[in-house]
Amino acid sequence: GALRRPALATSYPPTDICQCQPSCQVLAAALRTSRTGTIMLLRRPFAIATAAAVAAAGGSVRTRVSATGMAGAGAPRVSRDASQTVTIAPAEGTPHTATVIGPIHGLGDTNMGWADAAMHIHSQLPHVKFVLPNAPVVPVTLNGGMAMPSWYDITSLDDRTVQPCAGIEESRATVTALIEAEVAAGLAHDRIVVGGFSQGGAVSLFTGLQYPHALGGVLCMSGYLAAQEKFELSPAAAATPVAHFHGSDDPTVRIEWARRSAEHLRAAGVKEYALKEYESLGHSASMEEIADVVAWLQTRLPPP
C-alpha cells in the first residue's frame, strides 16, 4: 500500500503530481497505471530543522532534529560547501569512523530530496558521515531537452542498460573524487559505502564497481547498471558487496532491469550481490526498505 509517513516520503495522487520538475510529470505518466494508483516520490522530504540548517549553511552549522531521535545522541554537524554538496557529520565528541557517499539523488531531484532520509539513517549510525552531492543541471533528452539536475542523459523510458548515458563518466569522476577525499582524510576503503536512488543508484554501481579498491559496499535503490557497454568491473571491486533494493511494481526502472543488472554483475565476477524486491512498491522507497538499508549499513559499517 501507500507509504503513510510524511517524514520520509510525500505521496501525490496521479491528478495532482508535483510540477516542480519536468521529470515529475514524466514519472506521473508512467505511474498512472501503478497498482496502488498512488504516486510516491522521495522529493525534498526532510525535517524543518534540517532544512533550515542546510539552507543557512555557508560553513558548518549545528541543528537539532528531534524527529529522527537524535537529541539524545547529540546533534550532527550539517554543512554545505560551494558546490552545494551537503555533509552530515557525527556530532562533536563522536568519532567519525566511516562514510556513506549518498544517498545520491535521482533525475530532476537534488540532494535536499534525500537529506531527511540521510538524517534518519545517521541517527542509527552516529559514527558515520553522509556526503550528498548534487548533479549538474543539464539538458535531458527524455524530457525534450529541458535542463534539470541529471547525472547523465536518458534518451527514453526503454531499457536504459543499452543507452549511451552521456555524462556518466563525468559523474563517475565526481563520486570518485568524494571517495578519494575520504581516503585522504584517513578512512580505509572498506569503511566507505557509495549508494543512491534511481539514477543515483545507477551512478553508485557504475562508480563503486569500477573503483580500483574494494569498498565497504555499494547500495542501489531502484537503480540499474547504466551504460553497460562502457562498464568494466575492476578486479578489486569484485569483492565489494552490493545491496540492491527495488520495488516489484516499479514502472520507471523496471524490476526486469534490476534482475538483469544483478545477473550481469554476478556473471562479471561480483562475489556478493543481494537483490531484494518489495511487492507492490513502485518507483519510491518504503519505510521497510529504509529499515533494510539501515540494517545493511550496520553490518557493513559497524562502530569501531
* 159 is a catalytic site residue: no
* Distance set, CA 193 to CA 150, 163, 248 (Å): 21, 26, 25
Q: Which residues are CB-neighbours of 227 under 8 A, at least 6 positions away?
A: 152, 161, 163, 164, 165, 168, 206
- For residues 163 and 155, give the distance between their C-alpha atoms in angstroms, rounded to a whole number: 7
Q: Which residue in 109, 116, 249, 250 is the catalytic one?
A: 250
Cell 563517475 identifies what position?
A: 172
Q: Which residue in 34, 150, 198, 222 is the catalytic one?
A: 198
* Distance set, CA 43 to CA 34, 114, 247, 294 (Å): 19, 7, 17, 20
21, 300 Cβ separation under 8 angstroms = no
* 283 is a catalytic site residue: yes
Question: Could you say which DSSP state residue 75 is in?
Answer: P
- For residues 135 and 112, give the distance between their C-alpha atoms in angstroms, rounded to a whole number: 11
Three-class secondary structure of residue 92 per DSSP: coil
Q: Which residues pair with 133 in a beta bridge?
A: none
Cell 533525475 identifies what position?
A: 107
* 150 is a catalytic site residue: no
Q: Which residue in 96, 122, 246, 283 is the catalytic one?
A: 283
Quick one: cell of 299?
A: 553490518
- For residues 64 and 229, give the distance between their C-alpha atoms in angstroms, rounded to a whole number: 46
Cell 572498506 identifies what position?
A: 190
Three-class secondary structure of residue 34 per DSSP: coil
- For residues 237 and 212, give the distance between their C-alpha atoms in angstroms, rounded to a whole number: 7
* Nearest alpha carbon to residue 140 among 97, 108, 109, 114: 108
Catalytic positions, written as ranges:
198, 250, 283
